[in-house]
């Protein structure tokens, strides 16, 4: 296939996206596809002659730094352009067989670019615009989870400029987790154990978005479950070597220990897989996703969030889970692409749990 890998964009997860996109592009070329890696925000001079084959000898690469990118600088380097979609991007997407979505955050995961593609008849990987919107808005996602019987921590939604530490403590108690309502990669997320830390957390989240979520902190082991073609992958456990699973611990090699399959009883692993599939279905997600959990020793699992375009970086969780199910990285990217092409960009979910592996078609 002629596949355009779409990455970058004007999102706080821009660097992670470019890393995911580079690796996915290389894997797809190795699998025999003609591939172009395009930055959503920067755009391209022309949609012609941008696709590379595996025999070209060229490879893409991008290194994620310890801090999220300076978006003001990115805009300044591009004449202060506010348009989220760069020159010739839509034309290039229309000229491809498929768009492989390597975007994270912002327009790439909130449903906006998916809606644009639907209008132009462009096939793309991942979830459609409805599922993307529902999962990205953490308040909406948690409402749907709770209505669907998926346990999730108590929370409050507040305008960042009006959020009051005293009111949040009165409503939820302490400790709390504070995060921007529609951001990813733990950017802007803080833990608050007292009022002073909560006030600092409110300020930190407010730098990224006009709405924030304050959530009752659940203490326990952290797990994640990928969904691929309607089947839960093996459960992975995440153990940061220090602090919590923040931006640096997620993307710097060796900053966290990841164990897959997780050291859980068969029943506990299946419970998490069932909840992951239930969440995936309730949020109307597509061909693949990743659902994150905290397992409280006394009260069981709580769903943290759903990721519609989980990372595909060297330290990302979904590729590790797929590998544990017998699916190598190249085959994972190829399967994601073929699922989307076959289903027109919005694959339907199935419902069978599979621990022993996945049969590639």
Which residues are part of the catalytic machinery?
13, 185, 251, 290, 292, 305, 307, 311
Q: Look up residue 57 and give its DSSP letter.
A: -
Q: How many residues does the chain have?
A: 361
Q: How many Cβ atoms from other residues are within 10 Å of residue 244's Cβ? A: 15
**CA pair distance 318, 312, nearest whole angstrom:** 7
Side-chain-facing half-sphere of 127: CA atoms under 13 Å: 33
Q: Output the CA torsion 318→323→326→332 (10° steps).
A: 50
With tokens 């998926």, the residue in question is 150
Phi, psi angles (nearest 5°) of residue 296: -80, 130
Residues in Cβ contact with 75 at an 8 Å cutoff, skipping those fewer than 6 apart: 10, 81, 82
Strand ordering across the sheet containing 2-7: 34-39, 2-7, 98-101
For 181, the 3-state DSSP assignment is coil
DSSP secondary structure string, 253-311? Answer: TTSEEEESS-S--HHHHHHHHHHHHHHHHHTT--SEEEEEEEEETTTEEEEEEEESS--
Angle at 113 between CA 13 and CA 87, to 5 degrees: 85
Q: What is the largest CA-CA distance in the chain?
A: 62
With tokens 């590639």, the residue in question is 360
């Amino acid at each position: 296939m002629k596949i355009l890998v779409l990455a970058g964009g004007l999102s706080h997860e821009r660097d992670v996206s470019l890393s995911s996109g580079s690796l996915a592009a290389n894997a797809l070329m190795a699998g025999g596809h003609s591939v172009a890696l395009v930055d959503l925000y920067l755009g391209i001079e022309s949609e012609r002659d941008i696709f590379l084959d595996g025999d070209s000898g060229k490879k893409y690469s991008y290194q994620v730094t310890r801090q999220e990118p300076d978006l003001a600088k990115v805009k300044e380097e591009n004449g202060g352009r506010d348009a989220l979609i760069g020159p010739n991007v839509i034309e290039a997407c229309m000229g491809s067989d498929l768009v492989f979505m390597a975007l994270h955050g912002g327009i790439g995961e909130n449903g906006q670019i998916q809606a644009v593609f639907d209008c132009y008849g462009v096939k793309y990987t991942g979830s459609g615009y409805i599922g993307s919107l529902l999962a990205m808005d953490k308040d909406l996602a948690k409402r749907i989870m709770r209505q669907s019987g998926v346990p999730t921590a108590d929370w409050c939604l507040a305008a960042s400029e009006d959020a009051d530490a005293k009111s949040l403590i009165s409503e939820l108690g302490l400790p709390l987790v504070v995060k921007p309502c529609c951001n990813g990669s733990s950017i802007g997320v803080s833990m608050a154990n007292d009022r002073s830390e909560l006030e600092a957390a409110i300020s930190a989240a407010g730098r990224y978005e006009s709405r924030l979520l304050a959530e009752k902190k659940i203490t326990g082991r952290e797990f994640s479950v990928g969904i691929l073609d309607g089947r839960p992958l093996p459960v992975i456990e995440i153990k940061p070597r220090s602090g919590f699973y923040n931006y640096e611990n997620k993307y710097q090699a060796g900053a966290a220990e990841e164990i897959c399959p997780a050291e859980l009883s068969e029943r506990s692993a299946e419970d998490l897989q069932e909840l992951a599939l239930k969440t995936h279905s309730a949020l109307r997600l597509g061909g693949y996703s990743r659902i994150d959990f905290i397992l409280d020793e006394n009260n069981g699992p709580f769903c943290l969030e759903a990721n519609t375009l989980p990372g595909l970086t060297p330290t990302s969780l979904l590729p590790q889970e797929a590998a544990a199910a017998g699916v190598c990285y190249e085959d994972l990217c190829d399967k994601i692409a073929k699922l989307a092409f076959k289903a027109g960009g919005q694959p339907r979910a199935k419902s069978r749990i599979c621990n022993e592996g996945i049969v590639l078609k």
